[in-house]
Amino acid sequence: MSPQIITREVPPRAAWALEQAGVSPLLARLLAARGVKSPEELDDGLARLLPPEGMKGMQEAARLLADTLAAGSRICIVADYDCDGATACAVALRGLALLGARPGTLDYVVPDRAIHGYGLTPAIAELALAKRPQLLMTVDNGIASLAGVAHARELGMQVLVTDHHLPALVGEQIVLPAADGLVNPNQPGCTFESKHLAGVGVVFYLLMALRGELRKRGAYESAPQPKLDGLLDLVALGTVADVVKLDANNRRLVAQGLRRMRAGRMQPGLTALFTAAGRDASQANAFDLGFALGPRINAAGRLSDMTLGIECLLTDDGTRATELAKQLDAINRERREIEAGMRELAEEKLETLMPAGTPPPALCIYEPEFHEGVVGIVASRLKERVHRPTFVFALGADGQLKGSGRSIPGFHLRDALDLVSKRAPELLKKFGGHAMAAGCTLIDPQAFPAFDAALQQVAREWLDEAALTRTLRTDGALPPEAYTAATVRELEAQVWGQAFEAPLFCDAVEIVQQRIVGEKHLKLRLRQGQVLRDGIWFGRTEGLPERVRLAYRLSLDSWNGQERVQMIVEAAEPIV
């Protein structure tokens, strides 16, 4: 489905204020259009981070951890099998060691996606018990683990939950786990301004609060206070990879992490991952984290064991880091092959679901050959193609039918699952997630058609024609004088990402020449005004009319030591 190209509105006062503060006119326009109102929001210094004291439960959690460290008690981290969970685990273990955990008192467990499912389940509590911890600390999970938290405490462990997901709903009631400590900016009654911290961000905040608690107890009267900023490379990676909204606070965390990467001050595992991905760490940007490093960590949790990813982030041995990064790269290549086959099957299925070319209001697809570790990626790809809430299901190793969904603006996926569950209690065994991404397990694998019908009914009720129309927001025309390498570098120096999208320009051009390169990419030579430009549309083989409006990003193409600016095309509209 071709998107409708629209132009973002630019609040003139905000743009003017940014220009007066010394921001270039183009960048001021771009930032103002993304909601930046004052120059202070552009200060990415650590001193501008929101204070940890503003998060509900933070002080109690810090005291619990401080008491545990003082007693020399054992701590076991319960991680998650995605990049956010892996980085959160590494930050927790590295940070607690920095803050005084005795050698041999720190350990972790991570669920196997196919065997254990998500979060702190009773089975994971049993697995953790073998590590003999006094304290079980969840990272990037736990807020909905009511049974798992209760079981862990029955087994004699204290439980500290750190999470950023939405709490569990029992009927109409929000129910929190009966943990000894709970930190989550999205729990009821928490007034922390940034509701979009990733799991790794919550852990970093807890470490800051713990250091403050230890300082109050006199821990640093005769010794220097440990620095935590060396963990920000991991915080940046997990934050970008989890596709959380890059509000001002998250942008500061990511900017600080990227600064350390570019300076070569990062964990050996990240250095090795940059090399494995063929990316230049000295030019690190958020795109590298989201599309090069993040997928390699995620691949371990999708197809293998996330222990590989966590160990890569934990090791201080460069040789070991290189070995692990190569393994992760190989697993990611396998993941791409599996994904390609699944996408082909899914798209064949899609054609049968939309014989007239118009997709249904929501998409649910299942094939027996699908791999449960890759369904979320395929759901995301299909959602992008048809602009509909999309669920893709696979039969798990445990015989249960498990779905992963991705949504569009205006359709809160977790809330939609909640409504399906209320209307048809016999369908869903469990579900959870966010507005834009969620997962569920069916009680009966044979219930897939009923779930499909129930989700489509909710979509028909909630989505109108405007919501079902895919739009692509651009920043309008690029001034001709800004079509330079300097502009590209200025834009690449900023932190762009979820809900703070990278600049996308739109101009009327004349297509002078077009040809297919690499069998699946459209190489363009075009005229803009009186000037010839180069462009490429990745993944496009269909030709363009002579005159079009192009939506494009700017990129630097280096070849034989020469740099030239080119357009990376994302959409086109014919000019009639």
C-alpha span between 293 and 287 (Å, rounded): 9
- pTM of the full predicted structure? 0.93
Sign of the alpha-carbon dihedral angle for 542, 358, 466, 455: negative
**Rounded mean pLDDT, 59-77:** 98
**Rounded mean pLDDT, 489-513:** 95
* pLDDT at position 529 over 90: no
Q: Return the higher-pLDDT residue of 433 and 497.
A: 497
Closest Cα partner for 175 from 158, 190, 187, 162?
187
How confident is the model at residue 1, as a pLDDT?
62
3-class SS of residue 281: helix
The string of pLDDT tens digits covering residues 312-352 is 999 999 999 999 999 999 999 999 999 999 999 999 998 88
Taking residue 197's Cβ as centre, other Cβ atoms within 10 Å add up to: 27
Domain with CATH 2.40.50.460 in the chain: 471-574
Q: What is the dihedral of CA 415, 417, 423, 426, to 10 degrees?
A: -150
The string of pLDDT tens digits covering residues 117-160 is 788 999 999 999 999 999 999 999 999 999 999 999 999 999 99
The domain defined by 354-468 carries CATH number 3.10.310.30: yes
Looking at domain 471-574, which CATH architecture does it have?
Answer: Beta Barrel (2.40)
Domain with CATH 3.10.310.30 in the chain: 354-468
3-class SS of residue 134: coil
Which run of H or of E encompasses 241?
helix 232-241
The CATH number of domain 46-331, selected from 3.90.79.10, 3.30.830.10, 3.40.50.2300, 3.90.1640.30? 3.90.1640.30
C-alpha span between 357 and 323 (Å, rounded): 47
